[in-house]
Amino acid sequence: MRYQVKPEAYGEALSEVYDRMYPSMETPQTVDFIVSLLDPGARVVEFGAGTGRIAIPLAGKGFDVHAVEVSQPMLDKLREHDPLGAVTAVRADFAEHVIDGDFDLCYIVCNTLFMLPDPEQQIEALRRAGAHLRPGGTLLVEVYDPTYFHQLAKPEFQVRNLASDQVMIDTISVDPVNQVLAQVHTTIKAGSVSTFTEISRYAWPSELDLMARIAGFEMVERHGDWERSPFVSGSHRHITLYRKSAAGL
Ligand SMILES: C[S@@+](CC[C@H](N)C(=O)[O-])C[C@H]1O[C@@H](n2cnc3c(N)ncnc32)[C@H](O)[C@@H]1O
């Protein structure tokens, strides 16, 4: 079975609540980690930059930050948070677009690579990442480890508090054959209800490394969190660095 996903749909459905969906997200730790990889003034591009959670603070530290984002409502929020335009944002699908080939780092965080619904598109996005990078440039990918979800026997529920009169109920189910996790976000606000289904095509760490190799990268290091704890059995996600291999694409 092939899953169809309209890339703009996520932002159209969730841009209003996105900044409140992940209150415990480790933004300062993520920014510090990325800064530790960069020389002053480095050129950086984020795939799926959303409302600028990471891109804006990075630009504030003097880096030349570019953002590729497919959703206009998400870009509008990014601009609201960054009225002086410190981040250079372009509206495009990161599986189809290349700005230029001179970036030091491309990063794809918060499971965004998995939003592409099949492995071919994910490999294509990794190729595009390589096309953005100078020789020896770095690709950073943060995604969840699928182990826990892959064996879900029945749907799981999570509830988030978005505001005093607004909650989001997430119903998570898995199609293990196609390695697809479907997350139905049901938002209830003062009696009105909306739903949006987010599709996430997950890959195993070794599979991701293979896809990256196909796209012209070598795996350099993998961590279990932004503090560089080791990635071990039971880690919920990983942060992996790849280097654009000498042979290029
Ligand atoms: C989970 S959010 C992460 C946003 C941001 N990176 C962060 O960490 O807060 C994923 C973002 O990727 C965008 N996105 C999803 N698929 C995309 C694609 N194919 N091309 C460009 N942007 C995409 C979505 O619109 C959304 O803004």
Contact between 180 and 111 (Cβ < 8 Å): no
From 38-47, 92-101, 143-152, 180-189, the region with the lowest mean pLDDT: 92-101
Q: Does domain 148-200 have CATH number 2.40.50.180?
A: no
Query: How far, in Å, from the CA of 241 to the mean position of ligand 1?
Result: 19
pLDDT of residue 107: 98
Contact between 105 and 44 (Cβ < 8 Å): yes
**What residue ranges do the domains of the chain occupy?**
9-145+203-244, 148-200
Whether the per-residue pLDDT at 114 is higher than 90: the answer is yes
Q: Is 168 in the pocket of ligand 1 (CB under 6 A)?
A: no
Whether the per-residue pLDDT at 50 is higher than 80: the answer is yes
Q: Is 68 in the pocket of ligand 1 (CB under 6 A)?
A: yes
Whether the per-residue pLDDT at 4 is higher than 90: the answer is no
CB crowding 196-214: b at 16 or more within 10 Å, else e: eebbbbbbebeebbebbee
**Token match 């002053």: residue?**
40
H helix runs in 47-193, sequence order: 55-60, 72-81, 119-132, 147-150
Query: How far, in Å, from the CA of 69 to the mean position of ligand 1?
Result: 6
pLDDT of residue 17: 93
**pTM for this one?**
0.96
Cα 190 to the chain's mean position, in Å? 31
Query: How far, in Å, from the CA of 48 to the mean position of ligand 1?
Result: 3
Q: Does domain 9-145+203-244 have CATH number 3.40.50.150?
A: yes
pLDDT of residue 247: 60
Q: Going by CA atoms, what residue is nearest to atom 26 of ligand 1?
A: 50
Contact between 149 and 182 (Cβ < 8 Å): no
pLDDT per position as a tens digit, 190-229: 889 999 999 999 999 999 999 999 999 999 999 999 999 9
Burial of 21 (0-12, 13-18, 19+ CB in 10 A): middle
CATH topology agreement for domains 9-145+203-244 and 148-200: no
Q: Going by CA atoms, what residue is nearest to atom 13 of ligand 1?
A: 48
Whether the per-residue pLDDT at 105 is higher than 60: the answer is yes
End-to-end CA distance of the chain: 29
Q: Going by CA atoms, what residue is nearest to atom 12 of ligand 1?
A: 48
Contact between 140 and 240 (Cβ < 8 Å): yes
